[in-house]
Structure formats: structure tokens, C-alpha cells
């Protein structure tokens, strides 16, 4: 990849062949991107603005997060997955990706198609740089880029598949109709469950490329050649795609660490995976949440993980270090000010006999102020997301982390029943948790406690909280308006004032101070009129993270 940004150059020399990243004429774009799908073997070259560089990376990251959420919903078929994923993409405004997921291959070459292919190509390589730096990030990208490739491959029609084989450099030849007729019986036996044999194409591949298919008796094998039906060809490409991407991620890591000399790009790439770009960016609540409301909110709007920590704190008046960190940052994210946070923790922890105010000030006050960026490194830390909570180890007497992962079935069942969930819902949630579908179990908990699903899927406890407040605020406004209507007619002006007062007082903002960090809700990508200057990268990275 060769990038020129504001006079500085960075180069990634993977291969002699190049694709240019500036926007050339349509004929040049068509030559560079003749197909909707690619294996990303040829890195781009050319000039790209820093704004577009960061915009494409954030967009790609959000797309993979949406795919992760879609796959967590346990759809029964790949068509259902594709339909749900397409709907999620359109809802978030990613129409170009929705188009690519359903593209047939090479049936359309409009300006919109070509621009979508160009952005897809560059975005993949930028994200490859950022996600190459840590093993867990590499594994994440391998998993979800492969799943994205799988969905797009599934959309190809016969012409699209033929052209993809030609442009990918993988020379897998379809068998002739004469060979198909001569070997009809053997070929049919390998595809008996697929149905439409007459319209199924078969491809010749070396047997060592399809060992899994051979072991499952899904292909006809003759003289070292495997004859693979069209529907099973995806297995070959997924293996090839993942293997190639794994190799290239390691190359990208070496490049970033040893050759990338632009400090702005280094900072952006290293910080990008920590950006919480997902799910409407509502990790931060700009309203104040008075601590007097926390007990009630813990029962109505907290995800189970935070409810457990809150109840343990108010019952036992202590949380171990990781629990204090996770719950403290969650409170910060929902809108508890530093002053209120100190008061809350002090009032709870000093109720324990062995902790007086002096001990609290010496042992615990620093961490609270540290979380708010007032001491130490003075970093404005963000609340942990679901992936962090799921992966966090939990030791004896610790109650932090994701309960759907860390609690056994009996313990989780008991806790859910204590939350007054119906037995049928409890069984459903514990089953999802036991099968490893932790986020889906949390979503089901939300549905059970709110009697409706969230407007958007979430990957963050603070987004769960915001979704809950959105629903409950609407319900409370409707109830108040209905009560007022019972006693007296209201003019449109009074109704408007009533709703405004109710929304403003939803979490009691009467005597609070605005939290030190307020972030307006941002759209997921930057419109042309809102494009950032390069100097604002830090602000972008500081938006939301898990």
C-alpha cells in the first residue's frame, strides 16, 4: 500500500502489481475492479486523504460488528443471515455494503457499484493494518472477514462465479457436459442431498485442496482429481481466503512496527481497535444520573452484569478491584459525575466495619479520580464493552464480568428468578448462555424485562442502559400524559411542555452538574460537510470505546 497524506508517504510493498486509491475515470475503475468480490491479494496504491482513510476504517469496523451481532442471533440458514445482515446495514446507513453483500458478481458496473468496490478494497487493507498488531485482533478479523466473504460468495450467480474464478487467479475448471453425462451416477451420488443435479456445475480440483469434503464423502474422487459441486466450492475459497489473510496479517504487523513512519497513522491504527464505533455510539449519556436513582435504575435499566455488581456492592459494601473498575466506569458512562461517584462509593464502602472514611480516601479515592482522568495519566477512560467483560477472568469471590459466561446454569437460574423473570424466559436464557451465545442471552433478558426487543442490537452495557431508558422514557411520558388527560383537557402547547418537563426530569437533572465529558450522538460516518481535519483524529479516536 502506498499512501500520500499531507506530503508524507508510507509504503507497504506487498506485490509489484498495484491498484490506485485515488478516484480515476470509470474505465480505469472498471479495469481495477471488474468484479464485486475479491480475495484482497493486491493492495491499493495512490493518494488518499487522511479523512477518507479514517472514515473507511471506522466504517469497515462497524460493518464487522454488525455482522458479529447478526451471527449471534442464530439464524437457521445463510439466506436468513444475509437478509438480517442486509437489514442491519441499511438501518445503519451502510447501503454500499448492503449492495455488495447481495451483488451477483459482474452483472452491474454503475458508478455506484465501482465506488462501492473501491471503498471495500481500501477499507479491508486499512483495517488489516490496524488489526494486525495483536493476536486476538487478528483472530477477530480472520473470523468476521471470512464470514463476510462467505455471505458475498453465496450471492454470486453462475456468471459471477465463473468470472470470479477467472479474476481470482485460481484456475478451477468446470467439467464439460460430456464428462458430466459419462459420470452421471458417481457425480449424482456425491450430490444426492443437494437436489437439482441437472443445473449443478462441477469443478476439477486437486484432491489435497478438498480433504474435508473427501472425508465427508461429498465429492467424487478419481485419479487424484476431486469433482466438486458448485455449492461446495465455497469451502475451498473460505480455506484459501482465511489462509491468505492470516499470512498477510503477519506481514502487515511487521510493516506497521518496522516501516510505518507517519506518527498520525501510527496513532490512528493503534487506537482504532479500541474505538467503540458500534451501535449508535451511545456509550456516553449526556444527562446526569443522580446517585439516589441508582437502586431503581439497577432494577429497570441495568444489564444483568451491572445489576449483580450494584447489588453486591450495596449488600456487602465492597467490590474487588476489577469490579470497582468495571462498575465505576459504567456509572461514569451513564452520567454519574465525579463528585457524585465519590459520594456514592464512599457512602457504600464505609458502611463496612473495617473501612472508615480515612481508609477509603487512602485506598479507593485515587482509582475513582483516575477513572475520570483527573490524576495519573489523565486519560478519559471509557466503560468496558461486552467483549471485554466476556473475556475478563473471574476469580473467587469476584462478581464482575459477564454472568452468562461465568455463572453456571444453576447459579444463573437462581439469579434470573430473583429478578422475577418468568420461568419460560429463564429456561430460554440459560440455554443460550450454556451454548455460548452470551450476547443473545443478554438480549433475551432485555426482551423479558422490557416486554419488547431493543431498537438496536448492542455490544456494550451502556448501550443496553440507553436502549432501556429510551423505551421506559417513552412509556413514562405516555402514562403521565394519559393521567393528565383524565383530569383536564390540555392544549397542544401544554402537552408539549409536559413532555419536555418529563424528559428533562427522567433521570432528575435538577441540581446536578453536567458530567465532565459530554459527547453528542454522532452518525457512524462523516458526511462531506462534517469531514474532519487531520488534526481531529484524536477526537475521533476518543469518541467511544470498549
Instruction: Select the more confidently predicted residue: 500 or 402.
Output: 402
Residues within the annotated binding site? 305, 386, 402, 442
| pLDDT interval class at 72 (50, 70, 90) | confident
Provide mean pLDDT across the span 383-395: 87
Q: Name the binding residues for [4Fe-4S] cluster.
A: 305, 386, 402, 442
Outline where 40-110 has alpha helix (H). Answer: 50-71, 78-92, 95-101
d(CA 373, CA 389): 21
Query: Hey, what's the torsion of the CAs at 48, 527, 138, 113, to 10 degrees?
Result: -70
Cα separation, 380 vs 284, in Å, equals 12
Residue recorded with cell 478494497 = 121
pLDDT in tens, 147-161: 999 999 999 998 998
Residue-averaged pLDDT of the chain: 80
Residue 268 pLDDT class (50, 70, 90 cuts)? confident
- pTM recorded for the entire structure: 0.56
Closest CA to 80 of 174, 151, 157, 176: 151
Identify which of 485, 508, 505, 487 has the alpha carbon closest to the alpha carbon of residue 495: 485
Whether the CB-CB separation of 236 and 168 falls below 8 Å is answered with no
CATH fold group of domain 28-162+241-276: Transcription Elongation Factor S-II; Chain A (1.20.930)
Identify the band that residue 264 occupies on the pLDDT scale cut at 50, 70 and 90: confident
Burial of 370 (0-12, 13-18, 19+ CB in 10 A): middle
Residues 6 or more apart whose CB falls under 8 angstroms from that of 335 comprise 285, 286, 287, 288, 289, 507, 515
User: Does 50 have pLDDT greater than 60?
Assistant: yes
Q: At 193, is the pLDDT very low, low, confident or very high (cuts 50, 70, 90)?
A: low
What residue has cell string 487467479?
Answer: 169
Q: What is the mean pLDDT of residues 353-359?
A: 93
Distance CA 63, CA 91 (A): 12
pLDDT tens figures, 415-441: 999 999 999 999 999 998 998 888 889
The pLDDT of residue 534 is 38
What percent of the chain shows pLDDT beyond 90?
44
CA angle 376, 382, 385 (to 5 degrees): 140
Nearest to 305 by CA among 445, 402, 406: 402
- H helices of 194-232, in order, are 211-215
Tell me the mean pLDDT in the region 263-278: 72
CA 305, 310, 311, 317 dihedral sign is positive
Please tell me the predicted confidence (pLDDT) of residue 502: 36
Give the residue carrying C-alpha cell 446536578: 512
* Furthest-apart CA atoms within the chain: distance in Å: 89
- Mean predicted confidence (pLDDT) in 110-131: 94
| pLDDT higher than 90, residue 355 | yes
Amino acid at each position: 500500500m502506498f499512501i500520500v497524506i499531507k506530503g508524507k508517504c508510507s509504503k507497504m510493498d506487498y506485490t509489484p502489481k498495484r491498484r490506485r486509491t485515488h478516484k480515476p475515470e470509470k474505465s480505469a475503475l472498471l479495469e481495477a475492479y471488474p468484479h464485486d468480490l475479491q480475495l484482497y491479494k493486491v493492495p491499493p496504491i495512490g493518494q488518499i486523504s487522511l479523512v477518507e482513510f479514517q472514515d473507511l476504517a471506522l466504517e469497515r469496523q462497524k460493518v464487522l460488528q454488525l455482522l458479529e451481532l447478526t451471527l449471534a442471533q442464530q439464524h437457521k440458514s445463510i439466506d436468513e443471515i444475509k437478509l438480517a445482515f442486509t437489514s442491519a446495514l441499511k438501518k445503519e446507513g451502510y447501503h454500499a455494503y448492503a449492495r455488495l453483500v447481495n451483488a451477483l458478481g459482474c452483472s452491474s458496473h454503475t458508478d455506484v457499484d465501482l465506488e462501492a468496490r473501491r471503498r471495500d478494497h481500501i477499507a479491508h487493507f486499512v483495517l488489516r493494518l490496524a488489526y494486525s498488531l495483536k493476536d486476538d485482533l487478528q483472530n477477530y478479523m480472520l473470523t468476521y472477514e471470512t464470514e463476510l466473504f462467505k455471505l458475498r460468495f453465496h450471492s454470486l450467480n453462475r456468471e459471477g462465479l465463473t468470472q470470479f474464478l477467472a479474476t481470482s487467479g485460481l484456475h478451477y475448471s468446470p467439467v464439460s457436459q460430456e464428462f458430466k453425462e459419462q459420470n452421471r451416477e458417481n457425480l449424482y451420488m456425491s450430490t444426492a442431498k443437494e437436489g437439482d443435479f441437472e443445473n449443478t456445475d462441477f469443478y476439477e480440483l486437486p484432491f489435497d485442496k478438498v480433504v474435508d469434503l473427501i472425508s465427508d464423502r461429498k465429492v467424487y474422487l478419481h485419479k487424484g482429481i476431486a469433482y466438486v459441486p458448485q455449492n461446495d466450492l465455497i469451502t475451498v475459497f473460505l480455506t484459501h481466503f482465511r489462509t491468505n489473510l492470516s499470512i498477510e496479517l503477519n506481514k502487515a504487523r511487521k510493516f506497521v512496527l518496522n516501516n510505518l513512519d507517519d506518527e498520525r497513522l501510527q496513532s490512528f491504527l493503534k487506537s482504532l481497535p479500541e474505538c467503540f464505533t458500534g451501535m449508535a455510539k451511545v456509550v456516553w449519556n449526556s444527562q446526569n444520573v443522580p446517585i439516589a436513582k441508582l437502586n431503581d435504575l439497577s432494577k429497570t435499566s441495568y444489564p444483568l452484569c451491572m445489576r449483580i455488581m450494584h447489588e453486591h456492592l450495596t449488600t456487602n459494601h465492597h467490590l474487588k478491584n476489577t469490579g470497582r473498575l468495571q462498575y465505576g466506569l459504567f456509572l461514569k458512562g451513564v452520567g454519574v459525575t465525579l463528585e457524585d461517584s465519590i459520594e456514592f462509593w464512599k457512602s457504600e464502602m464505609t458502611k463496612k466495619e473495617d473501612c472508615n472514611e480515612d481508609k477509603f480516601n487512602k485506598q479507593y479515592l485515587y482509582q475513582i479520580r483516575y477513572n475520570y482522568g483527573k490524576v495519573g495519566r489523565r486519560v478519559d477512560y471509557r466503560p468496558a464493552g461486552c467483549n471485554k467483560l466476556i473475556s475478563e477472568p473471574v476469580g473467587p469471590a469476584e462478581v464482575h464480568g459477564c454472568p452468562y459466561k461465568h455463572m453456571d446454569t444453576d447459579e444463573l437460574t437462581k439469579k434470573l428468578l430473583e429478578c422475577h423473570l418468568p420461568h419460560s424466559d429463564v429456561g430460554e436464557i440459560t440455554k443460550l448462555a450454556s451454548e455460548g451465545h452470551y450476547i443473545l442471552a443478554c438480549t433475551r433478558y432485555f426482551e423479558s424485562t422490557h416486554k419488547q426487543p431493543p431498537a438496536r442490537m448492542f455490544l456494550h452495557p451502556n448501550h443496553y442502559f440507553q436502549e432501556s431508558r429510551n423505551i421506559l422514557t417513552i412509556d413514562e411520558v405516555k402514562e403521565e400524559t394519559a393521567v393528565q388527560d383524565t383530569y383536564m383537557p390540555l392544549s397542544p402547547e401544554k402537552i408539549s411542555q409536559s413532555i419536555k418537563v418529563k424528559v428533562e426530569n427522567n433521570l432528575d437533572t435538577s441540581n446536578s452538574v453536567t458530567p465532565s465529558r459530554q459527547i453528542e450522538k454522532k452518525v457512524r460516518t462523516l458526511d462531506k460537510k462534517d469531514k474532519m481535519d487531520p488534526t481531529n483524529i484524536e477526537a475521533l479516536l476518543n469518541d467511544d470505546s470498549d
